[in-house]
Each structure stands twice: as C-alpha cells, then as structure tokens.
Amino acid sequence: MEKIQLDIFGMHCASCALNTEKALKKVEGVKSVNVNFASSKALVELADPKVTVTDLVKAVKNAGYSAKMNVAEKDIEAGKKREYQKIFNKFLFAAILSLPILIISMPQILMPFGVNAETLMEFSGRKLLLFVLTTPVQFYAGWQFYTGAYKAARSKTTNMDTLVALGTSAAYFYSVLTTFFITGDAYYETAALLITFILLGRLLEARAKGKTGQAIKKLMGLRAKTARILVDGKEKSIPLGEVKVGDIVLVKPGEKIPVDGVVTKGLTAIDESMISGESIPVEKMVGSNVIGATFNKNGFIEFKATGVGEGTVLAQIIRLIEEAQGSKAPIQRVADKISSYFVPGIIIISLLTFLAWFMVSQNFVFSLLLGIAVMVIACPCALGLATPTAIMVGTGKGAEKGILIKSGEALETAQKVDTVIFDKTGTLTKGKPEVTDIVSKNTKEALVLAASLEKLSEHPLADAIVRKVEADNLKLIAVTDFEAVTGQGIKGMIQKTEILFGNRKLMEGNKVFYGDYGQDLLALEKEGKTVMVLARKKEVVGLIAVADQLKENTSKVINSLQKMDIATVMITGDNHVSASAIAREVGITRVLSEVLPQDKADEVSKLQAGGHTVAMVGDGINDSVALTQADVGIALGSGTDVAIESGDIVLVKNNLDDVISAIKLSRFTMSKIKQNLFWAFFYNIIGIPIAAGIFYPFFGVLLRPEFAGLAMALSSVSVVSNSLLLKFKKL
C-alpha cells in the first residue's frame, strides 16, 4: 500500500478535519485516511496506485480547504508564521475597536473614574457610532468565519465557523435593526467582543499547537545544510538536497556528517548520541558506516554516500514520527463520532433554547442572547485536540529518547500490556556469543570439524566457532553435501564421512550414541551455556559450549517490569536446561524453550488466547512473525536500521531499559488523553446547560455571549496545555 502525506491548509477546528477526512475517503482507490487537526497533516493510504496526488488535492479543495505534498519544512513554518501574523493583526484590529465599543455600550464601567454614564447613554448618535465601529470588526476581522461557514455549507456540512458566523451575525444584525428600523437595545459589543475573544483563542491555540510538534522540528534542525563532495578531484560545496548516492563526501573535524555513507578514507571519532544515545564517540575507519546529522569530532574522512534525502536514517526516523502523529488511537473514535454530529446538534439546542425562553419570558432579546451564548460556548475543538495533541507530544518525547512509536494504536495498546516476552539471543544477551568449552579427546580436531561445517551456516552461533578457529590459526577442511536442519543443526560430508553438529534433537533424530559425553553435556547445560554436539559415525566425538553474555541491565529491567505487575517470559530455541539457567540468573520464572523460529508466533497466540495483552521484544529480523502476532511488537533497532517493519515500537538505542520507558510513556500519554477527553466532555456537558440558562440567574456572566465565547476559546487552550505537560514526565 502506498502512503501519501499531505499538508492541509485552512482547517480551524475538529469538524474541519473530519470534513477533510470524509472528502478524501470518497476518492475512489483510497483505502484509509487520517487527518490530524493538531499537525494539519493528512495521511492517505491507497488501495489503487492509479490514484494521483492531484485527485487528492482536488478532493480537499472541493471540501473548502487546500492541500500540498512535499512542502519544505521552512515553507510550512513560514506559512504558519504568516497565518499567525494575519490572525494577530485581525485580533489587534478587533481589540482596538472593541474597547471603545465596550465603553460606549456599557459606560457604567467608567463610573469609578468619575465619568457620567447617563450622559453617554443619552447621546443621540450612540447606536450609529457603535454601528460604525462594529461593522469593520464584523466584516474584516470576522470575515474568515463567514468564508469558513460558506465552504462548509458548500460541502453540505458544518463546522466551528458556522457557529461563530451564526452567533455573531445574530447579535450584529439584530443591533442593526434596532439602530435603523425598530425600537430596542443594541448588542454591538456582543458581536465585537465575541470575534475578539475567539481570535484570541485561536492565537493561543496556534502557539500551543506549535509547541506539540517541536520534537520533529528539533530532528529536522539536526541536518546539515550543505555538503562538500569531490568532483574531478576537486572539492565542491553543494546544497544537501543535491547530494547523490555514490558521491564521495568530505568531512572535516567539527562538521556534521551530511548524509549516510561508508568511509573510504581516513580515521575519526563520531558523536552518534542523537541516534544511539551513547555520549562516547564511536571510532570510524575505512569500511565503517556513518549516519547523516551525526557530529564528526576530530578526524578528516572521505565517505561514499549510500543514503540521501528520504533514504537517510534521520529521514526514516522523521517519517516514522510523522506517520505516528498522523495516526489515530482507537480511543479517538468516540470523540470523532461525537464531533461529526456536534455542530448540527448545537444549532438545534441553540434554537430550542431561544424558543423555550421566548415562550417562558416573552422577552425576545433575552432569549436571543441565550441562544447565541449556547452557540458560542460549545467547543468541538477541545474534543478534536484531546487525542492528537497528546499523541504528538508523547511520540515526540519518545523520539527524543530513541523510542519510535509507529502508530497511535500501538501507543494506546502498550499501556494495557500485562505480559512481555523476550527473545533471548541479542535481546536479553549481547548477541555476540563466544566459545567457552570444548570437550573432546581431540579438541583441535573437534573444533576444526565443527568450524568447517559452521563456515557454511548462517546460524548466529556459527560466527563464534569460526572466530575461535581463526584465533587459534587452524585450517578448515572442505565440506560436501552440506545441509542445514532448521531448529536442530547442520550436517555434511568431510573426508567421505558424515559429520553432524547440532542440538539434542538432531542427535536423537539420527540415533546418535552419547557414550561418556552425556554427563558433560548435562553439566554444561546447567551452567546456562548453549552446547552443540559433534557426532561422527553415529557417535558423539565432542561438545562445544558457547555462551552469550547477558546485557548489564537485563536483571534490573526484568525486576522493574515485575514490580509494575507485568509478567516476563523468555522464548528461545535453546534446550530447557540451559534456557532455565539463563532465566534464573535474570529473574524470569517462565521459559519457553526449544521453540523453532516459525513457532514463536504460536506461543504468543497461546498467551493471547489466555486473555493476556502481550508485548514481544526481539531483534525485528528473526522474530518478525512473533513481533507482528503480538499485541505490541517491540523491535530493538541497530541504530542504522530504524524502520523495522515488523515492530510497532522501535528502540533505536538497543537498550532494554527503553522497554520500560515505552510502556511508561504509553501509560502517561493515555492518562493525558483521558484527562483531555474528560475535560472536553465535562466542559461541554456543563457549559452548554449554563449558557442555555438552566441555572438562571446563577452563572449570569456566562449568559453573556461574549464571555461564553471566551470560555470556549480557553477550553481548547487548556487541552493543548495539558498535553504539553507530558514533556516534563520522567520515563
């Protein structure tokens, strides 16, 4: 499935995002759409590759908004600044005019300063002056609400602009009627202050929303701006975007590595902390990989570019975060469902409020003001911002710690995890085993026979045995008829004799006789070592034990998870005795041993069938099926391969501590989302009845539409601000 990300312009509320989403979903060939109001981005997944970006942009335009693809970050930021400045200018304009409007409308507020309010109230041209001052506010500062409402109406839908346009228009045009045609009080200050307060709310909201996406901005800011390459033996400085795969790039001490590559000349130490989290510089020599945006400390190097543009590690990380921030957590479906009916529902409640109060009080103006107050106190924006802002801050905080959460669904599910399954090799252990024991009547011969077979094998333990032969300067023997037996070992012909090398299953399947080696095998396994048996002519001729050192923090991580009431399980292809020894050492009580790679997913399924929410932690390659089967797949990244497709969460630093951090981050983020949703629902459930006058005459100030509008504006800001508090949580 192809995924296309679009930058959406012109959205003002959650209803706008839902309208854009609906428009994109109607395009034939589109499989799924997520529109994020907080980040103003749409992530579109296509089922038909024939769908073009033009088709999608046209659909967004028909919905009343605009969309572009591959907009440079600097252009997006410049556009946001222009939009912010435009709103600020209109707010300032509205505020400057609203002050005299307020004073002329309510001169009693100046009485403490010795001003005679009655004189102002009796001024014959008072209403005409208010009309002159309010009209520019209504149709210049507030024009965007009319255009937004018109675009929504054209798409046969409604949004927040619809409510504001209706509310302010009702107050303004009623006041015009009382100025020129009928007798009655004017409420110009209601229209002017409403527009002023809502523009203030949008300003505050825009500023707060900008802070939720700071993690991506920081990552983008790490990139070098230019690169120095060799062209016909001469140095040439070019913009970063012009570097091509295969170019020879030169980097001096104190400069950033511009793109990914392989060192072809020189020796240096590079600070890779932005990827690995390790503060100690990593030595680089000919053949070493270098990562774009890392910092060259003290040497001059030349390297061949292997990853440029979207192919760099940093670009992969940014893409993963953007996709995660554009995705929706399942919990958001409730808010989306309510938001889709919200505005039409509020308009109906507003009309009912007006009619009910008019029937009771026979006071048209009072009833009208209550109807307007209901219309403007309601806030779908708070509902729309509750989930995406928390996800943006949460995934951003994770990225800064080297924890890449690839979707909102993974972020939500991780907080429910009650069982974590760890693969042993390379996850609990360092993944670089070494030969510890050779038991044989002829140790050199046994080692050579085993290494000759393992040289042809791709098994993780093969490298340890081959390295041992090379260290002892022994020569290998030619092998014919080589065969790898999955999950058991290998066999082949050496000097016209069949040699077997593998685990107990291989020996039992070939009816091999252990002789005196049985006790030695058991003793080595009890020490937690992986023991491979060497057999010739149906008899064991040697044992080779290999041990993989545990990572320093393994026991601490297991203990911490258990304190969080999370069960820990180890899964491995090792025999039960040696696997149990490792498990005891780290504190794991449940061991799934002698499990073939293809059967790991079945073991995950069994735990899920028992009602457990399971996280699987593995290297993302050998464990891909199990990682996909788990409720949450946590893949340990290598630092240079972060976009591991099988993992829902990628731990870039390869650090087990981050398993705990990922679960904590999920719990913190979901807690914020629930707080935000509670506040958004609570605000509307309480605010709408108050504005409708159910508690009249109490809460009198909220019966004034302008103050109801201010309350609405501040509700959105409070939700975003609450999400931003996630930044200060310790993982």
Q: Quick one: pLDDT at residue 316?
A: 82
pLDDT at 702: 60
Look-up: residue for tokens 């025999």?
Answer: 575
The answer to whether 349 and 689 have CB atoms below 8 angstroms apart is no
Separation between Cα atoms, residue 537 and residue 542, nearest integer Å: 13
What is the structure's pLDDT at 141?
A: 96
Q: Which CATH class is domain 402-429+552-655?
A: alpha beta
Is the separation of the CB atoms in 578 and 528 below 8 Å?
A: yes
Reading the block at residue 668, the tokens are: 């913190």
Tokens in use for 541? 């001729």
CATH fold of 223-307, please?
2.70.150
Same fold? 2-70, 402-429+552-655: no
Identify the pLDDT of residue 542. Answer: 94
pLDDT at 121: 67
CATH 3.30.70.100 holds for 2-70 = yes
488 three-state secondary structure: coil
pLDDT tens sequence across 403-413: 989 888 899 99
What residues pair up with 261 in beta bridges, in sequence order? 290, 305
Residue segments in the chain with a per-residue pLDDT below the cut of 70: 1, 109-121, 215, 276-279, 460, 620-622, 638-645, 700-703
Residues 6+ apart with CB under 8 A from 351: 371
Work out the burial of residue 471: count CB atoms within 10 Å of its CB; fewer than 13 is exposed, 13-18 middle, 19 or more buried: exposed
At 396, which amino acid appears? G
Return the biggest CA–CA distance within the chain: 119
Indicate the SS3 state at residue 359. helix
Q: What was the pLDDT predicted at 347?
A: 92
Helices (H), 160-236: 160-180, 188-212, 214-221
Torsion of the alpha carbons at 88, 92, 93 and 98, rounded to the nearest 10: 130
Q: Is 437 a catalytic residue?
A: no
Catalytic residue among 423, 548, 631, 658: 423
567-571 contacts at long range (C-beta below 8 A, 24 or more positions apart): 567/418, 567/419, 567/420, 567/612, 568/419, 568/420, 568/422, 569/419, 569/420, 569/421, 569/422, 569/607, 570/421, 570/422, 570/424, 570/428, 571/421, 571/422, 571/423, 571/424, 571/595, 571/600, 571/603, 571/626
User: Which residue in this structure is represented by tokens 């087990």?
Assistant: 656
Torsion angle (degrees, nearest 10) of CA 514, 519, 522, 528: -120
Instruction: Encode pLDDT of 465-522 as tens digits.
Output: 998 998 889 999 999 999 988 878 899 999 889 999 999 889 998 999 998 898 999 8
pLDDT value for 701: 60
Tokens, residue 209: 């929303």
Give the CA-trace dihedral at 448, 453, 455, 456, to 10 degrees: 170
Q: How high is the pLDDT of residue 230?
A: 93
Domain boundaries, the chain: 2-70, 72-212, 223-307, 314-401+656-731, 402-429+552-655, 434-547
Q: Return the pLDDT at 632.
A: 94
What pLDDT sits at residue 698?
73
Q: Which residues contact 360 (CB under 8 A, 6 or more apart)?
A: none
- Rounded to whole angstroms, the Cα distance separating 353 from 689 reads 9
Handedness of CA 407, 410, 411, 412 (dihedral sign): positive
Q: Which CATH architecture has domain 434-547?
A: 3-Layer(aba) Sandwich (3.40)
Q: How far apart are CA 593 and CA 504, in angstroms?
A: 13
